[in-house]
Amino acid sequence: MAQLWGGRFNEKTDDSAYAFNASIGFDSRMYKEDITGSVAHAEMLKKQGIIDSESADLIIGGLKKIREDLDNGSLKITAEYEDIHSFVESVLTERIGDAGKKLHTGRSRNDQVALDMKLYVRNRIKLTDRALYELQKSLYDIMSENLDTYMPGFTHLQKAQPVTLAHHMGAYFEMFLRDRDRLADIYKRMNTCPLGSGALAGTTYGLDRQYTADLLLFEGGPTRNSMDSVSDRDYLIEFLSALSTIMMHLSRFSEEVIIWNSNEYGFIEIDDRYSTGSSIMPQKKNPDIAELVRGKTGRVYGALMSILTTMKGIPLAYDKDMQEDKETSFDAFDTVLDCLTQFNGMLKTMTFNKAVMEKSARKGFTNATDAADYLVKKGVPFRDAHSIVGRLVLYGISNEKALDELTLEEFRAESDIFDEDIYEAISLKTCVEKRLTYGAPGHEGMQRILEYYKSYLDKDAAGK
């Protein structure tokens, strides 16, 4: 057992209790953050004259060497250490001697783990945001190529009105845009440094917490209350909530991909690289990536519920319950990043069956509202127009005809207001193009939206 305490104990911790208490099995993934924080702490201790320069330089050099050795695999993290903090400090002391024992001056594991977790979450926010950006780029490309690809829009999973594939994909672009806004907001709010808060009540050493915060790029400076600093996991809850929303959006998208991929719809063809087959049915080509993304959504929701439940009954300040913030959260971080990556790969290689989509829009009476509007513009009250077109739809269903396949005589059987111009009025092109309000699927309006999206993506590419 390698631990950072024990002086006041007469007996060794029971082996099973030690294993139950230890976190090295999962917090070892934060070794980079732990070492980064320790280097900054040592730099600050040196600046303040709390430890001598020679010891500080030995500590900093030793920490950087540990990081290098862990990165290249020549040093392994093993299970005899209680946590990543005891591993780093123990290895450091073994390598540089008593100088290593000075590293923890003015610091507690409570503010140390709070720092490590913030640094780790901060980095994961950046990685998640980048993956969302890549997905948005793929959506932008699909939209640019499909401004005039007609398809049915749905409500209640029933064909409703004609839209374009660009317009449909734009709805998801907007969802992911909001997701990225949420991540940026969380990043800004969480970007304060807890190091220097000690166990809960600060320290008597003359620390320069602002200097440490600056070294670690915490733009919000040091945290303002030491008790809150070591017991705060709001930022993690917010991040998991944002990740849950991302997964909800991905799951909705996956559901549509699964439906569109079915034989009954045939809107898309998923590339072989993102499909699987059946062990018994030779004809099968299954949308497993989309199904897994949909399924893994509950896993991420579970992580959010776990941390909310853990935190709800914890009195100030730090309690060991808070060690439970890591395993499910780490799993959620990995899951979301994997899902974004795989979904994007599937989306980029997907083939859209444009003719099938357009035929589906025509056969689904999605132009019925436009037929009613045609009558209204000729003086028929809307409620009467609605009833007339409803009877025409019923006739079309009975005779297996789309509205634009009806003869003029068949139209006039319901209303003599109809004339030859009804066919242009209910063509898919007209139905879409005359929807010119901001945010609607018309070609010109969508071009303006695409210009906005391009500017938005270009700012990211430029690092703004």
Which residues, other chains included, contact 343 with Cβ-Cβ below 8 Å and sequence gap of 6+?
135, 250, 253, 254, 289, 290, 293
For the stretch 160-163, contacts whose Cβ atoms lie closer than 8 Å and that sit 24 or more positions apart, written own/partner, are 160/366, 161/366, 161/367, 161/369, 161/370, 161/431, 162/361, 162/366, 162/367, 162/428, 162/431, 162/432, 162/441, 163/432, 163/441
Terminal alpha carbon distance of the chain: 48
Task: Report the helix count and the strand count for the chain, using DSSP H and E.
Answer: 19, 4
Say which of 53, 85, 197, 278 is annotated catalytic: 278
Q: Residue 452, CB half-sphere, CA atoms under 13 Å: how many?
A: 12
Amino acid at 103: L
> Is 156 tagged catalytic?
yes
- 175, 127 contact by CB (below 8 A): no
Show the CA angle centred on residue 51, arms to residues 48 and 52, nearest 5°.
100
Residues facing residue 41 across a β-bridge: none
- Give the span between the Cα atoms of 268 and 348, in whole angstroms: 12
Q: Cis bond leading into 317, ω under 30°? A: yes
Helix axes 368-377, 382-399, angle to 10 degrees: 140
Amino acid at site 109: R
Which pairing describes strands 158-164 and 150-155: parallel, antiparallel, or unpaired? Answer: antiparallel
What's the distance, CA 85 to chain centroid?
A: 29
Annotation marks residue 38 as catalytic: no
- The answer to whether the beta carbons of residues 226 and 204 sit under 8 Å apart is no
Q: Which listed residue (156, 279, 398, 455) is catalytic?
A: 156
CB of 20 within 8 A of CB of 57?
no
Closest listed residue to residue 184, CA positions, set 228, 225, 239, 227: 239
| HSE-up of residue 96 (Cα within 13 Å, Cβ side) | 22
By CB atoms closer than 10 A (0-12, 13-18, 19+), residue 428 is buried
- Indicate which residues carry an active-site annotation: 156, 278
